[in-house]
Chain A
Amino acid sequence: MTFNVYIIAIIFSIIFLVAIIELVRKNKLLEKYSLLWILFGVVLLILSSTPLFIEKIASVLDIKYAPSVLFLFGMVYLIIYNLHITTVFSKQSQKITRLNQEIALLKEKVEKMEANKEH
């Protein structure tokens, strides 16, 4: 077997999967966000383990150069995942805003109560 894009992809997906699991183990990545990445690693591993799958897909999609199916898959996946991430942090920034406001209002209330106590 020659050293080609398939071998690189196999090595990459294995390292990738190990890294994801390591991040979850060290609590640096939440399980719920790791699932999509693990799925990505597994699909990449399957696609790159044998040229059969992507050659089949390539012929169906009329792609001349079969390994570019791998790149296509990777890119589409990243775009979708990025969109997912921006929805996640939009939600979070709304929550942070609300926390900021609630803290400000609570502080005002506490200060008022303490001022009343002193008198």
Chain B
Amino acid sequence: MDKPKILVIIPAYNEEKSIHTVIRKLKLHSDIDILVVDDGSVDMTFKKAALEGVKVVRLPFNLGIGGAMQTGYMYARDNGYDIAIQVDADGQHDPVYLNELIKPLTEKKCDMVIGSRYVAQTAYKSPISRRAGMIFFSWLVHLLTGNTIKDTTSGFRAVNRGIIEYFAENYPTDYPEVDVLVRLHKKSFKMCEIPVEMKERQGGKSSITPLKSLYYMIKVSLALFINSLRSGDMV
């Protein structure tokens, strides 16, 4: 196989404090293109990203992580990329793992690779409530698809051309991470995990507050059940 065209998609919403650090670390990899999707930020995210000389797509208003990521996948589809990788703008995802994330794709072992916190023992510590949620979703995904995915909410993911094309057309607007696992299973895409260490976020605020957690769990569970009833194509 020729050298694959690789795009790193960074969805960013008000991440002016950390965006440049993330981009600079990514630039150490010479064989990738970087695209920042500014999800209608009201701070300097757009300018900071543009100053680093990477591609920036700016949404006219905030869509949420799902809508922003889909924009990235649409860009990847339209510009002929073979692999797209999601890297969060808050610095949680360490670009050191990029090559490992890509490897199973180039070897055609699977269609999507998830950088997972829980595959092996890592230094990442998460609150008990979050951990319980992770176990619950992992169990639910296993129940619905038969796949064992330990870290269902990790956004650190690499996908191949087939999934890029699918995501450009079908991607959930909010809380997409768990949701797509069931959709991809329906479409017979193969998913696998590699162990990564995640860092504490370096700036900005997490989009998930304790208050939203319960809402998140109910909503995602509902979406999963409904997804398992449909074909995987959005109406």
Listed in ascending order, the chain A residues whose CB lies under 8 Å from chain B are 94, 97, 100-101, 103-105, 107-108
Enumerate chain B interface residues (CB-CB to A < 8 A): 37, 55-61, 63, 67, 70-71, 74-75, 78, 173, 234
Q: Are A101 and B55 in contact (CB under 8 A)?
A: no
How far apart are the CA atoms of A39 and B74 in the complex, in Å?
Answer: 43
Apart from A97-B67, A101-B71, A104-B37: 15 A-B pairs, beta carbons within 8 A: A97-B63, A97-B173, A100-B60, A100-B61, A100-B63, A100-B67, A101-B67, A103-B60, A104-B59, A104-B60, A104-B71, A107-B57, A107-B58, A108-B56, A108-B75
Q: Is the interface of A mostly helix, strand, loop or mixed?
A: helix
Instruction: Give 19 CB contacts A-B under 8 Å.
Output: A94-B234, A97-B63, A100-B63, A101-B59, A101-B67, A101-B71, A101-B74, A103-B59, A103-B60, A104-B57, A104-B58, A104-B59, A105-B71, A105-B74, A105-B75, A107-B57, A108-B57, A108-B58, A108-B75
Q: With both chains docked as a complex, state the minimum distance between the C-beta of A110 and any C-beta of chain B, in angstroms.
A: 12
CB B69 to nearest CB in A, in angstroms, measures 10
Shortest Cβ distance from B66 into A: residue? A97
Name B70's contact: one of A101, A103, A107, A108 (CB within 8 Å): A101
Specify which chain B residues have a CB less than 8 angstroms from the CB of A94 in the assembled complex. Answer: 234
CB closest chain-B residue, reference A107: B58
